[in-house]
Amino acid sequence: MRVRLRPVLFAGMLLSALLITTAHLLAGGGRGPSLPKSGVQRGLAISPVPLDLRGKNRSLVAQGSYIVNAQGGCNGCHTNPPFAPGGDPYQGQPEQINTAHFLAGGQQFGPITSANITPDEMGRPAMMTLDEFMMTMRTGREHDDPDEILQVMPWPYLAKMTDRDLHAVYEYLRAIPHAEPGP
Ligand code: HEC
């Protein structure tokens, strides 16, 4: 019996192409600048501290975690010290972030101290509303002291993020626990 292989192969190829496209669309490929599904999972997985997701947009928090923990390097300056004792990857040790003081500031850069950007008692990161946060990140100036320009903070680079990315960072900072600066 002659098996007609070609049409079967062709149908198979067509089906896989369709499945790949569908998977891509489901993963968020068609939804603009938000992270694909795997990025959301990665963002949530790499947060070194537990997150309070109540009343928050989960995928926005995840996107913010991805930016803060995989791209923005915020921990390196805003946690004092960035790594727990015995957990400093620069010393060849297995990484352990200093979760007790995560993003609570207090690192000294000459005369300048990094800010506490964890949420205050009202849940506002760095004691800022979203608008104030966006303005500071974009202009390097604080809303209550616009004459001062932040000198260490790499705001000229972070300022180039999209509105959604900056909002995501804010949403992530809203979800982390409040902490006090390390000694
Ligand atoms: C190179 C070190 C460094 C990095 C990286 C860094 N910051 Fe900062 N940041 C600082 C310092 C120091 C200050 C205090 C003000 C200054 O720079 O003069 C500050 C200030 C801030 C402020 C203003 C707080 C206030 O009360 O005025 C915010 C908000 C902030 N940082 C958020 C972030 C976020 C979010 C990231 C990561 C996406 C980040 N920073 C990365 C060093 C850094």
- Angle at the Cα of 167 from the Cα atoms of 164 and 169, rounded to 5 degrees: 115
C-alpha of residue 35 to centroid of ligand 1, in Å: 24
Which atom of ligand 1 is nearest to 140's Cα? 23
**Pairing mode, strands 145-149 and 141-142:** antiparallel
Where the chain has pLDDT below 70, the residues are 1-33
Cβ of residue 132 lying under 6 Å from some atom of ligand 1: no
Residue 8 confidence (pLDDT): 53
Residue 7 confidence (pLDDT): 56
Residue 18 confidence (pLDDT): 47
Chain center to CA of 90: 22
Residue 40 confidence (pLDDT): 85
Cβ of residue 154 lying under 6 Å from some atom of ligand 1: yes
Of all protein residues, the one whose alpha carbon is nearest to atom 12 of ligand 1 is 114
C-alpha of residue 151 to centroid of ligand 1, in Å: 9
Residue whose pair of structure tokens reads 């004092």 in the numeric block: 80
Residue 89 confidence (pLDDT): 98
Local structure of residue 151 (DSSP, 8 states)? S
Cβ of residue 72 lying under 6 Å from some atom of ligand 1: yes
- CA separation (Å) from 164 to 32, 72, 115, 149? 11, 15, 23, 24
Residue 16 confidence (pLDDT): 56
Of all protein residues, the one whose alpha carbon is nearest to atom 2 of ligand 1 is 77
Inter-residue contact 140 to 103 (CB < 8 Å): no
C-alpha of residue 40 to centroid of ligand 1, in Å: 24
Cβ of residue 175 lying under 6 Å from some atom of ligand 1: no
C-alpha of residue 166 to centroid of ligand 1, in Å: 13
Q: What is the C-alpha to C-alpha distance for residues 157 and 26, in angstroms, rounded to an integer?
A: 32
